[in-house]
Structure 1
């Protein structure tokens, strides 16, 4: 009976984070929502059918089996948050962007809001250097850097789910570091860096900040 109850609770937890809230975007891409709802319904139904059958047979398992319910209760009570600076600091390096000449020119007046992936792509993959002299806005969470006077604005990118996430990080110069894991909107200009073909390690894009504004976490934390 306890195994069937666990299935019902697991299905209910899956429905709770996918059908009745947007918590599921902390773990998977938004496009997976229909599949999560369907899986939650199936798991809940299997547990319910098994529970009815067990009740009809008056069969009872060992009491210790109820401990199987504890992890599922934890999902209900303490849903894990989206990945933050701890995961970003230990993330593998993102794949290098392809060199393209197809990036559209940026507007001359006012800042251009841009995703982290586009900014990094333009920095390392745009031979026309369309970022040069332009003001952009990047939104992400704060990750500390080892070098004094620098920190990262960061966004995690998913291929499928949180298990395969990697960090898109841009060094921020010219502004004190806000609290780690706080979400910010950074306005600034690209700082060109010379990349040595023989250099080892990761080379990060850099932004000279003119303004850093605290913002609420977005409804979809990943790119």
Structure 2
């Protein structure tokens, strides 16, 4: 891969990053707050590629002024490369011992250095961003990882829930209040949560939501058990909105033996996949 090919691959990679950043595609990889940094990184890659191409192609665009003895009068023509030195002339020829001088190409035989062909592998992430749109982490990832709410905090001091009936809360917020605050800050309030269905170890459905610290690589699930009028017969990765009240029931996650809180469901409905699937 020569320098020009490297610049083209870099240009494609930067363009793919910018394209993903300007659409909702980036939400499948990173948190929404990282969008400005992705755009800046993509633009820097594009700028670096354009400058590399400019400097590589600039010698081909050089022209000599009119009246040069190599060109016709009043015209322009590409600048000619200087003729090679004759043998024995200057440092580039052979010396008396038949050795090549320092000014020649030495043992390179006129050929430039070749970059490793492994550089072509850089085009794989470009194709991945342009041609493949992987789904966000879902029930399979949730089943392979333990719930993210694992550490008890004593004492806990959660603020009161916002006004509303039911009040919308995040799955992580409800799980934290249910485990760390034993539902004190929830009380008898009705809450409404949105997440996807994943099958628990007992075959019953769980409500789950993936949480990210930075990107999808560190995504971990928050799981809630469902009692009462819980949905049944739904396929994994079905997104639902549930309304219910705090339940003091606790289960154990078989993956990491962490506690899974429950929600006493009063009603539920299936909803479209949200734009932002991570919390």
TM-score (norm: length of structure 1): 0.83
The question of 1:46 aligning with 2:101 is answered no
Match of 2:181 among 98, 123, 126: 126
Residue equivalent to 2:12: 9
Q: CA offset at residue 17 of structure 1?
A: 0.9
CA contact (8 A) 1:103 1:122 kept: no
Residue equivalent to 1:170: 224
Partner of 1:129, secondary structure, is coil
- In the TM superposition, 1:37-186 aligns within 5 A as 37-56=39-58, 68-94=122-148, 95-98=150-153, 99-104=155-160, 110-127=165-182, 129-148=184-203, 150-173=204-227, 174-186=230-242
- In the TM superposition, 1:210-221 aligns within 5 A as 210-221=266-277
Structure 2 CA distance for partners of 1:25 and 1:119, relative to 1, 3 Å: same
Matched residue count: 216
Name structure 1 gaps, 5 residues minimum.
none
C-alpha distance in 2, partners of 1:123/1:13? 42
Q: CA offset at residue 160 of structure 1?
A: 1.4
Partner of 2:196, secondary structure, is strand
C-alpha distance in 2, partners of 1:72/1:128? 47
Q: CA offset at residue 115 of structure 1?
A: 0.6
Structure 2 CA distance for partners of 1:188 and 1:158, relative to 1, 3 Å: same
CA contact (8 A) 1:106 1:130 kept: no
CA contact (8 A) 2:18 2:38 kept: yes
CA deviation map 1:28-64 (0-9, x unaligned): 12221111111101111112222333345679x79x7
CA contact (8 A) 2:146 2:258 kept: no
CA deviation map 1:157-199 (0-9, x unaligned): 1111111121111112332042211211011222212689xxx
CA RMSD of aligned residues (A): 2.9
Partner of 2:259, secondary structure, is coil
C-alpha distance in 2, partners of 1:14/1:106? 38
Structure 2 CA distance for partners of 1:80 and 1:151, relative to 1, 3 Å: same
C-alpha distance in 2, partners of 1:211/1:179? 18
CA deviation map 1:194-214 (0-9, x unaligned): 689xxx812211122222211
Name structure 2 gaps, 5 residues minimum.
61-111
CA contact (8 A) 1:171 1:207 kept: yes
Partner of 1:8, secondary structure, is helix
The question of 1:204 aligning with 2:276 is answered no
Structure 2 CA distance for partners of 1:45 and 1:192, relative to 1, 3 Å: same
Partner of 1:171, secondary structure, is strand
TM-score (norm: length of structure 2): 0.68
Larger radius of gyration: 2
Partner of 1:191, secondary structure, is strand
CA contact (8 A) 1:144 1:180 kept: yes
Structure 2 CA distance for partners of 1:116 and 1:162, relative to 1, 3 Å: same
CA contact (8 A) 1:131 1:190 kept: yes
